[in-house]
Amino acid sequence: MTNKREAQDTVLRLSGITKRFGALTANDAISFELKRGEVIALLGENGAGKTTLMNILFGHYTADEGRVEVFGQPLPPGAPGAALAAGVGMVHQHFTLADNMSVLDNILLGTEPLWRLGMGRGAARRKVETLARDFGLVVDPDAKIGALSVGERQRVEILKALYRDARILILDEPTAVLTPQETDALFETLRKAVAQGLSIIFISHKLHEVMSISSRVLVLRHGRLVGEVKTDETDRHRLAELMVGAEIKAVAPSEATPGEVLLRLSGVSTPAQGNRPGLNSVDLDLRAGQITGLAGVSGNGQGALADLLSGLEAPTEGEMDVAGTRVRGWSPRTAVAHGIGRIPEDRHRTGTIAEFTLTENAVLEGYMKPPFSNRGWMDWSGAERHTAEIIDKYDVRCPGPDTRIRLLSGGNMQKLILGRVFEAGPSIILANQPVRGLDIGAVTYVQEQLIAARDAGAAVLLISEDLDEVLALSDVIRVMSEGRLSPEFARGSMTPAELGVWMAGQGFEDAA
């Protein structure tokens, strides 16, 4: 009886939270309650206002209107310490751990006054070990953070929050860096936490995860709370529609008709750069009319492969052939000249120049040739005609070709890049995280364009951290781990769990 009433206790209440940034209303009168022992999912596209809302809850921003109550007590606005003290813990997408310190030190860091550091460690260690056992968070307290995998680091972050007696846990996109197996383990931990009376806010845009872990789903769109549904009364399709506000259709590529090999890497290695691994004796064939999907946990050499195909890096070992000829003097410009169309991972910093107009951005790769210039003289009218064509053909929503590109949304920016790349008629396309951060409408558009390019005979390499995307689009799949490439898997021959084993680094010839 008492148990039942307790389970209905409200631990967190947000009422009428409004936050404006200039003309933009990031949060518009958002109210909801979180009960004890409940997982609610906060679902929304990029820019829907999820992060702003959590920053207000956590005291990083001050709301213009509305209030936050934790366990019935109002939180003073703009005080991150107060949220922590009230029992709210947050696990950020990007971890906040010191690499050169042990797990235990990282957990204790900031919980004790400086002059007491080093005292009471025995008690602290026992508490951490008890928590780890109770919640299934297996991690060695004495290991250095730098030596841990991404999944283990996330466990440390959760332990850190639990150690501070967090009763409400906020997880921001926690699965973005995990393999499917690690995701399952995380969910197991979260279920244990809930069983012990914790409450969780799970922020994500991955629908199947939201369906599997949450009991209620809140959907944000353009800063407004547009839907609040019980998870067992809805399905993925309906959630997606709520998120976008329109009917959506999933891409379904037809059967591919692969042709000749357009790009071949044989035993290619490149050096590591800082924390980023290089390539380790990679063999890769990209065939005409085929999408090769590259799956893998982020930071396992995808960046090195992308830099190689972009021309930013040359192989230090091994051979690289484009359309049957060995490449010489490899650079971004020769890569473009060899017919490689490149969609970069970071469209803001690498793909475009923010202060340049659409026209200036559209000719960034081809400005030195007619019709954009002639013997060193720019032909701006030719460049503008070309840009107008791209705007028209690729449905770039903008005031005009002389608008600065920083004023465009991510989706429209990406459409301009697509236009720049596809209009040059590439035979090989490198698409590195082409839909990251885009809203669903733009995602569908970009994916359809990639399939259309494949059907027109291009060899496409799709690099993505989103396994679902790789599975949906690829004709063949390769998995990358620590700079090594798995064998080629045909479409449908592998389950996500089987690919997850490869993503975790098992199955490779030289694996221990």
Partner 1 sequence: MRLEPVANPTLGRSIGFPAAALALTVVVASLLTLLAGANPFETLGLILAGAAGSKFALLETLNRATPLIFTGLAVAVAFRAKLWNIGAEAQFYAGALVAVLLGTGALGFLPWFVLVPVMAAGAMLAGALMLLGPVVLKVRLGVDEVVTTLLLNFIMLLFISMLLEGPLKDPMGMGWPKSEPLDRAARLPRIVDGLRLHWGFGIALISAGVIWVIQACTTLGYEIRAVGQNPQAARFAGIPVGWVLIKTALLSGGLAALAGWSEVAGLKGNLTLDISPGFGYTGIIVAMLALLHPGGVVVSAIFVAGIFVGADSMSRAAEVPTYIADILLATALLFMVLAILLTRFRVVRG
CB of 177 to partner 1, least distance (A): 23
Q: How far is the CB of 459 from partner 1 (least distance, A)?
A: 20
CB of 285 to partner 1, least distance (A): 25
User: Rule CB under 8 A: is residue 333 a binding residue for partner 1?
Assistant: yes
**Distance (Å, whole) CA 454 – CA 88:** 48
Q: Which CB, 95 or 356, lies closer to partner 1?
A: 356
- Please select the residue that binds partner 1; options are 209, 365, 439, 469, rule is CB under 8 A: 365
> Which CB sits closer to partner 1, 20 or 192?
20
**190, 178 Cβ separation under 8 angstroms:** no
Name which of 122 and 329 has its Cβ closer to partner 1.
Answer: 329
What is the distance between the alpha carbons of residues 445 and 434, in angstroms, rounded to a whole number?
A: 11
Which of residues 7 and 337 has its CB atom nearest to partner 1 in the complex?
Answer: 337
Which residue among 341, 351, 419, 500 contacts partner 1 (CB under 8 A)? Answer: 351
Q: Which of 121, 133, 236, 349 binds partner 1 (CB under 8 A)?
A: 349
Residue 266 in the binding site for partner 1 (CB under 8 A):
no
* In the complex, minimum distance from the CB of residue 66 to partner 1, in angstroms, rounded to a whole number: 15
What does the block give as tokens for 452? 């259309």
- Report the distance separating Cα 261 and Cα 459, nearest Å: 8
The SS3 of residue 117 is coil
Contact status, residue 361 vs residue 407, Cβ threshold 8 Å: no
Is residue 378 part of the contact set for partner 1 (CB under 8 A)? yes
Q: Is residue 22 at the binding interface for partner 1, with CB under 8 A as the rule?
A: yes
Interface with partner 1: number of residues (CB under 8 A) = 32
Q: Does 335 bind partner 1 (CB under 8 A)?
A: yes
Residue 368 lies near partner 1 (rule: CB under 8 A): yes
The residues near 138 (Cβ < 8 Å, ≥ 6 apart) are 132, 155
Q: What's the burial of 147, exposed, middle or buried (CB within 10 Å: 0-12/13-18/19+)?
A: exposed
From 153, 205, 221, 342, residue interacting with partner 1 (rule: CB under 8 A): 342
| Closest CA relative to residue 218, chosen from 468, 338, 50, 353 | 50
Q: Is the dihedral of CA 393, 395, 401, 406 positive or negative?
A: negative
Return the number of other C-beta atoms located less than 10 Å from residue 173's C-beta: 18
- 20, amino acid identity: R
SS3 219: strand
> Of 396-415, which residues contact partner 1 (CB under 8 A)?
407
- Interface positions with partner 1 (CB under 8 A): 21-22, 62, 78, 310-312, 331-333, 335-336, 342, 344, 349-356, 360, 364-365, 367-368, 373, 376-378, 407
